[in-house]
Structure 1
């Protein structure tokens, strides 16, 4: 049974490392959540390590810059691991070929910046769909358009046998209260149509491997039982934690605020009904990260 808590301080002494989702937990796509920032600072001041584990398609440098704009200070975390970096490593190793058709927006183009950690990287070229050997999807061209508008291109790509590299498995996010589609929605559509999609962010193993490498580079060696994964997505954050056999803290006031009847705290009956419906079993739940 998932235990509802009111503050992370209630359980902080059980953990040495937090793997923390960003959107919906630490910020809303526009500004930082002050209580979440204070909670992360407090955990670090107590000797803990905070890894920001995000399905953002951006390299970690781009995420750090974005966090600064939102008002998340550098002393609230130790290191960042992004789905984008995990997917970029696969791209530069040739997972979808050399000539790729790019789906995304102007701000996502940093995805193609070189990665020093990859030996003998593939020479990636962005081309039109009819010349492509694969698809790199950082998100929709229009985040407010129904993903189905891409069916004609996806049908053509499927017939060519192209693989789609998904840089962000999230289906949607809420930016300042307005819902936007993410790359995961396009990858799900492509898979539904019979195409092959490759995933690297939560809940899939590559991003957790990246987080462990980031921790190792810092000299942090932690027992998995002392790691807590935090997030508001049952199909990404919580499913990933369950797959990695990690304890988890579900932020019910994020994507599932309506279903869990969360204002300050989740309604226990609504929370249990939602988790049962989604076949999810987080260790703890809290209305907002605080």
Structure 2
């Protein structure tokens, strides 16, 4: 209701609302969640997720050998793209969507894997720059913590979400095209 009221207060000049999410999955999954919360689709014009931006970055690297660092539930981020998912030791690109088991693991559990990838200078795309998220009253580690750990050892990280500039540039471009 607040977004609808906000849009009405903007007046007759058309304005576009693009919701930006750090979900490491395509926008349709976020739209289903918003629908479940009862957010009217008329409250926004488009959704851009860090998963969408990650997919765009992956599309720029056809044929890439990608290692997915993250839970299987984030697999839709790779659907339909020209890439091959491979083990860490065979990859030329790392896509980080989060910890495999964010309820029990920490970034420390990934230190050896990250060090081995850094030794080969494998670049990382961080598909969810959040460091933590609150779930059921607890703070749960996110992909951003792994990206931070990788950057601390000199690994190259591209952040595909808030609060980093590329996602806002993509959202503005999306709004301009609506």
Instruction: Say whether the fold is shared (TM-score over 0.5).
Output: yes
Taking the aligned partners of 2:174 and 2:115, their CA distance within structure 1 comes to 38
Taking the aligned partners of 2:136 and 2:173, their CA distance within structure 1 comes to 32
Give 5+ residue unaligned stretches, structure 1: 1-37, 116-122, 219-290
User: 2:146 aligns to what?
Assistant: 186
Deviation at 1:151, TM superposition (A): 0.6
Give runs of aligned pairs for residues 104-253 of structure 1, distance below 5 A. 104-114=70-80, 123-144=82-103, 145-218=105-178
**The one of 28, 32, 40 aligned to 2:3:** 40
Deviation at 1:143, TM superposition (A): 1.4
Deviations along 1:72-113, one digit per CA (max 9) or x if unpaired, are: 332332211111111211112129x71111012222111012
Taking the aligned partners of 1:49 and 1:209, their CA distance within structure 2 comes to 14
Deviations along 1:188-220, one digit per CA (max 9) or x if unpaired, are: 0111122111112122221112111221121xx
- Between stretches 162-171 and 54-63, larger displacement belongs to 54-63
- Between stretches 193-202 and 133-142, larger displacement belongs to 193-202
Taking the aligned partners of 1:167 and 1:77, their CA distance within structure 2 comes to 23
Q: Contact 1:58/1:111 (CA < 8 Å) preserved in 2?
A: yes
User: 1:270 aligns to what?
Assistant: none
What is the total number of aligned residue pairs between the two structures? 173
**The one of 56, 64, 79 aligned to 1:98:** 64
Taking the aligned partners of 2:16 and 2:86, their CA distance within structure 1 comes to 41
User: 1:84 aligns to what?
Assistant: 51
SS of equivalent residue, structure 1 residue 102: strand
Q: Contact 2:17/2:175 (CA < 8 Å) preserved in 1?
A: no
TM-score by structure 1 length?
0.56
Q: Contact 1:43/1:49 (CA < 8 Å) preserved in 2?
A: no
More helix by share: 2
SS of equivalent residue, structure 2 residue 17: strand
Deviations along 1:39-60, one digit per CA (max 9) or x if unpaired, are: 1121123345432111211111
* CA RMSD across the alignment: 1.8
**The one of 61, 64, 76 aligned to 2:28:** 61
SS of equivalent residue, structure 1 residue 88: helix
Taking the aligned partners of 2:65 and 2:128, their CA distance within structure 1 comes to 20
Q: After TM superposition, where is structure 1 displaced by more than 4 Å over at least 4 residues in a row? A: none
Bigger-Rg structure (1/2): 1
Taking the aligned partners of 1:146 and 1:133, their CA distance within structure 2 comes to 24
